[in-house]
């Protein structure tokens, strides 16, 4: 039987950690052997630079000490951009070549962040989304753009929409037709109709 991607990722991350200088004593023992989960006091070893933990200390995920943590994966990928605004701008120019990101623009990176006004422009009336990686583009001290990044590493899905829950939505079957939802979300999407969720154009 073929191992799942998540299982392969765990074993590869464990091998990477042990070969990269993380002592076995820093990892939890599970089922009688060294696991892919760092002991709480060694959680910062999950980042290439331990000082990067400061970027997530305000919103540390429960399993951020697991070697397959998407939160730490995001920090390891984007912290070099958070450390250097000019590098962040150059990266954004390469990643989004059709966008008007200019040499004089400033690009700042935040982690686990809810931008001001985001619940309104994302259409969220309840708990606002914390963006995994948020890039703010400013020009002459004015916001000219946002880039929101959702990061997943070895999770099997992005989670489930609350609209699929029949205890809330009297007709979850309408969630099955994506083209109808995107063509008329206020009529066909439970989240848009009841919570004001917005769909991007």
Give the tens place of pLDDT for each residue, 166-191.
888 888 888 888 888 888 887 888 87
Quote the crossing angle between the two packed helices 70-82 and 85-95, to the nearest 10°: 110
Give how far Cα 51 sits from Cα of 38, 57, 83, 107, 135, Å: 17, 10, 11, 21, 20
**pLDDT tens sequence across 68-124:** 999 999 999 999 999 999 999 999 999 999 999 999 999 999 999 988 877 777 666
Report residue 47's pLDDT band, with 50, 70 and 90 as the boundaries: very high
Q: Check whether residue 145 and residue 180 sit in a common domain.
A: no
Q: Check whether residue 133 and residue 174 sit in a common domain.
A: no
Bridge partner list, 135 = 109, 147
Note down the domain range covering 134: 85-149
Q: Check whether residue 92 and residue 36 sit in a common domain.
A: no
Tokens coding 181: 């939802």
In a domain, 200, yes or no: no
Q: Check whether residue 74 and residue 94 sit in a common domain.
A: no
Task: Tell me how many domains the chain contains.
Answer: 3
Residue 27: count of CB within 10 angstroms of its CB: 22
- Which residue, of 79, 97, 119, is where some domain finishes? 79
Whole-number pLDDT of residue 3? 86
Q: Check whether residue 93 and residue 107 sit in a common domain.
A: yes
Q: Check whether residue 75 and residue 102 sit in a common domain.
A: no
In a domain, 188, yes or no: yes
- Which residue, of 46, 79, 112, is where some domain finishes? 79
In a domain, 68, yes or no: yes
- If we measure between CA atoms, which residue out of 5, 1, 2 comes closest to residue 156? 5
In a domain, 177, yes or no: yes
In a domain, 41, yes or no: yes
**pLDDT tens sequence across 113-158:** 988 877 777 666 666 778 899 999 999 999 999 999 999 988 765 5
């Amino acid at each position: 039987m073929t191992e799942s991607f998540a299982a392969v990722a765990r074993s590869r991350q464990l091998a990477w950690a042990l070969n990269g200088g993380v002592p076995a004593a820093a990892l939890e023992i599970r089922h009688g052997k060294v696991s892919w989960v760092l002991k709480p006091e060694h959680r910062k070893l999950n980042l290439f630079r331990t000082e990067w933990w400061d970027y997530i200390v305000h919103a540390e995920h429960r399993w951020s000490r697991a070697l397959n943590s998407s939160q730490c994966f995001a920090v390891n990928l984007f912290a070099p951009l958070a450390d250097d605004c000019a590098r962040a701008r150059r990266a954004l120019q390469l990643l989004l070549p059709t966008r008007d990101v200019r040499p004089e623009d400033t690009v700042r990176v935040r982690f686990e962040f809810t931008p001001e006004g985001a619940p309104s422009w994302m259409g969220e009336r309840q708990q606002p989304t914390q963006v995994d990686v948020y890039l703010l583009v400013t020009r002459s001290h004015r916001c000219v753009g946002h880039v929101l990044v959702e990061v997943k590493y070895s999770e099997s899905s992005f989670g489930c929409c609350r609209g699929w829950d029949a205890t809330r939505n009297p007709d979850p079957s309408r969630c099955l037709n994506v083209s109808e939802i995107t063509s008329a979300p206020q009529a066909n999407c439970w989240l848009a109709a009841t919570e004001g969720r917005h769909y991007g154009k």
